[in-house]
Amino acid sequence: MATEPQGSQWKTLDKDLNRISQVELAATYVARPLVAPGIALAFIVVAGAVAAVFFGQQPSSFVVIAAAVFGAYMAVNIGANDVANNMGPAVGANALTMGGAIVIAALCESAGALLAGGDVVSTISKGIIDPASVADTRIFIWAMMAALVSSALWVNLATWVGAPVSTTHSVVGGVMGAGIAAAGLGAVNWSSMSMIAASWVISPVLGGAVAAMFLAFIKARILYQDDKIAASRTWVPVLVGLMAGVFAAYLALKGLKKIISIDMPVALIIGLVTGLVVYAISAPLIRRASEGMENRNRSVKTLFGLPLVLSAALLSFAHGANDVANAVGPLAAIVHATEFGGFEDKVSIPTWVMIIGAFGISFGLFLFGPKLIRMVGSQITKLNPMRAYCVALSAAITVIVASWLGLPVSSTHIAVGGVFGVGFYREWHMERRLRRIGAKTGEVKRIAKEERRRRKLVRRSHFMTIVAAWVITVPAAALLSGIVFWVLNAFVN
């Protein structure tokens, strides 16, 4: 009986091993996109297990466990979407690497949520629906569950398509939709809803205008001066002191509610003192750092790097302190209603609920945040440290002004509006310079169009996608919430 040569057997073995290695490579390639969802799912399961530990002995524990699961899901989505607004400009300006931004944001978001997150949260989400219309505890629980599920689904969808949306508006839409499904249109406080609708316009316009104003100031006082370094020594410490003062007032007003309650006049005094101290410290540091620098715009940009990183960290801290309630507010309301058999206008947030929110935001940022960070930081318009600094400063100033005027604004809309404002100012400034050099009108339009494409001033496709997502956030979340409420109610009954 003939036997196969030894060399042929080795060749066959090599071919088989090569096929196996190719299969393993293909399996790794296919499985890679599933790693992040798998880790997120594991965290969500752990959140449900934590709720089971605290409420496993109670008859209605299933409701709390389900709410904890969806609360964790919402927190993950907030981390994936909302945090990009704080870190995107710093990453787009190359002041931070993506990894550094994620680490700083995760630490600051968690610290803000756990150290300065509010003790209480409004169960009816700022008076969107009339409490009397959902007086039945069971109806109230299902309404809050529907709001939680629908807002999480909407933010997840927005993240998937690459649109930074307001998670606050998503929760408001969810509460409104559940209220309508439970008690009809009369349950909604339409005056509050009209104020929120107005904020769709107010937030981005204010943010964009303030950011453009500061960019114009920097160009006029520093970049267009004959001696840019001397101008930087004069004005950069002023701008750094202004940033420090604004953020001190911002954190005192919005981020430290759990530690101490501070009104507007006291917050402004804190900001003024902090700004003066930081100016006195930064002036000699800026002078020393600028020694030997070339008289170029690139040299000036480096002086804004550290202030930009600090501003991004402070924004993340304040965001964690304020927006964690979007994830855990409905969950806290469900826990309270389940535990005490009723509900109140405001309820305390249990520590374990706050931990779910804080860790969920961090997990969402680590696993899914880079997509939206790139969108905000580099795909809307090209940012450098000076432009990104204007966006960060605009976000803090606009929130303080809006709080003083009593206007309901979205931090998401303000930050992204600041990016748009910087981009559109660059377009306007470029076309103005073209007209100044005497080009004909048709030539101006042609060159401006080419410059918009080449320099990535404002990408119109991203602009339209984001604006459309903003406009439909509340109605879309409301529609989803109504559907979820009807399904839950039908399932239970």
Query: CB under 8 Å to 388, separation ≥6 — which residues?
Result: 89, 90, 92, 93, 95, 304, 308, 377
Each residue's pLDDT tens digit, 387-414: 888 988 888 888 777 767 666 677 778 8
In this prediction, what percent of the chain has a pLDDT beyond 90? 12
- How far does Cα 426 stand from its chain's mean position? 24
Strand stretches in 231-345, DSSP E: none
| pLDDT given for residue 119 in this prediction | 53
Token reading at 19: 């096929």
Q: Are 128 and 188 in contact (CB under 8 A)?
A: yes
Asked whether residue 280 carries a pLDDT value surpassing 60, the answer given is: yes
Which residue, among 417, 371, 423, 427, has the nearest Cα to 397 in the 3D structure? 417
Each residue's pLDDT tens digit, 40-92: 889 999 988 888 887 766 666 788 888 899 989 998 988 888 777 778 888 88
Q: Is the pLDDT higher at 172 or at 454?
A: 172
Q: Is the pLDDT higher at 243 or at 324?
A: 243
Each residue's pLDDT tens digit, 288-309: 988 888 888 888 888 888 888 8
Each residue's pLDDT tens digit, 225-265: 889 899 999 999 999 999 889 888 877 876 566 567 777 88
Token reading at 316: 């993340």
Q: Is the pLDDT higher at 12 or at 277?
A: 277
What does the mean pLDDT of the chain come to? 80
Strand stretches in 196-299, DSSP E: none
Q: Highest-confidence range of 14-28, 228-242, 247-261, 313-327, by mean pLDDT?
A: 228-242
Euclidean distance between CA atoms 251 and 81, whole angstroms: 22
Q: What is the rounded average pLDDT of the residues 455-481?
A: 82
| pLDDT given for residue 211 in this prediction | 92
Band the pLDDT of 154: cuts 50, 70, 90.
very high
Q: Is the pLDDT higher at 113 or at 419?
A: 419
Q: Are 328 and 356 in contact (CB under 8 A)?
A: yes
Asked whether residue 32 carries a pLDDT value surpassing 60, the answer given is: no
